[in-house]
Amino acid sequence: MSKQKVESILSQLDSSPTPRHLVAYLTAKLLQANFVDYSNQEIQNSQSGFIARAGSLVAWKNGKQTSKNGFRIVGAHTDSPGLRIKPNPDGRRFGFNTLQVEIYGSPLLNSWLDRDLGIAGHVVLKSGAIKLFRSVASVARISQLAVHLDREVNERGLILDKHLHLSPAWSSAQKAPSFLTWVAQQTKCTIRDIVQIDAQLFDTHNAAVVGADSSFIASGRLDNQASCWAAISALLESRSGAATQVVALFDHEEVGSESATGAAGPLLEHSLEQIAAVQGISRTGFLETLSNSSCISADNAHAVHHNYPERHDLSHGPIINQGPALKLNSNQRYATSSTSAAMFIAACSKAKVKHQVFVSRNNMPCGSTIGPITATRLGIDTVDVGVPQLSMHSAREVCGVNDLISLQLALKAYLN
């Protein structure tokens, strides 16, 4: 069983170099399970459905008594920090054809060096159609300066100029095709058909199980595609019940969530309102329903790093493979309240999985998540949880197999 689950995690990670690829992959799974696609049509009262908007997705299973039992929501984000290709990217320097990139979110920049990189994204065509693409082979590389030309690098640390030092080289031929020509070949479109390109780099190295006991998963984008996997697979496996079960996956968390499809936008609220309306719930009934609802916001946590234990509060630092972490912050960087924490603890005990508690050091402020945004927008009691991981925001991160499977089981217990 857990072998199957691990294979399904790896397959999702390898299929999803961008948020739109992830949404395409997950919607295909939902369609296989007879969820109805309401992305371009009015919601009807079917058993289950979904709305995909660019790199974001809301999917649900209707409950039998939503007005009384509310919505049970699991939220996560689809985007990860990285390097995006600029609109006029082509350059030629000292024998290399190069691409200009823009930094998205806050990646660990050094982690993008000396990797075999692919390019993935989508094009918008003159017809209005959108076409996804990804390179099959590795096509680009950002090379680190040799140690002989940067003698103090190991003592002083690597210093990268964000504008000068991150351009990948992607060919050396005098007459190489432009980036636009290459994208046209990848998408089998003509240059004249392509109006806009949205592209980013990704590590072509596949996701893998590592460790002498096979207890870790290493991959790009574990933050937060690991939680997306746990959320959607929990929804697919859960039985429908009294409450309406909802999974909301948002793009743009890494850049603040304020966008048309981000958690601070109207996507979740509008979806819930429509789901309630087709179940015959009035506007006032809907507001009442929200107060009976709850949300688990799943986003990875910092596991205690064996080489840097001083960076953690060791009484509140999650240990890898000891269970998903309940994330608390009294300054409301996390949305967890006493009641929502109790709800997650109950879900873990129902699923018979362990959980841990994460609070950051007082002199090391934590990042934020979509949890407080959802709680603020909808007034729904929300708990922030996450799988402990190392190397957060690296091009290749690592988390524990047991933690991820435990999170999935806890989410399923919560939805049920």
Note the residues at the interface with Zn ion (CB under 5 A).
223-224, 299
Half-sphere exposure (Cβ direction) of 380: Cα atoms closer than 13 Å: 30
Closest listed residue to residue 100, CA positions, set 186, 35, 195, 178: 178
**How far is Cα 336 from Cα 295, in angstroms, rounded to an integer?**
10
CB 398 within 8 A of CB 218: yes
Q: How far is the CB of 252 from Zn ion (least distance, A)?
A: 12
Q: How far is the CB of 386 from Zn ion (least distance, A)?
A: 8
| Identity of the residue, 70 or 265, whose beta carbon is nearer to Zn ion in the bound complex | 265
Cross-strand partners of 326: 357, 385
Burial level of 290, CB count in 10 A (0-12/13-18/19+)?
A: middle
| Identity of the residue, 140 or 370, whose beta carbon is nearer to Zn ion in the bound complex | 370
| Identity of the residue, 184 or 375, whose beta carbon is nearer to Zn ion in the bound complex | 375
Termini Cα distance of the chain? 20
| Identity of the residue, 123 or 366, whose beta carbon is nearer to Zn ion in the bound complex | 366
Q: How far is the CB of 152 from Zn ion (least distance, A)?
A: 33
| Identity of the residue, 224 or 336, whose beta carbon is nearer to Zn ion in the bound complex | 224
| Identity of the residue, 27 or 224, whose beta carbon is nearer to Zn ion in the bound complex | 224
**How far is Cα 361 from Cα 313, in angstroms, rounded to an integer?**
5
Q: How far is the CB of 227 from Zn ion (least distance, A)?
A: 8
**How far is Cα 181 from Cα 92, in angstroms, rounded to an integer?**
16
User: What is the chain's length?
Assistant: 416
CA torsion angle for 284, 289, 292, 298 (degrees, to 10)? -130
Q: How far is the CB of 178 from Zn ion (least distance, A)?
A: 34
CB 102 within 8 A of CB 84: yes
Q: How far is the CB of 253 from Zn ion (least distance, A)?
A: 6
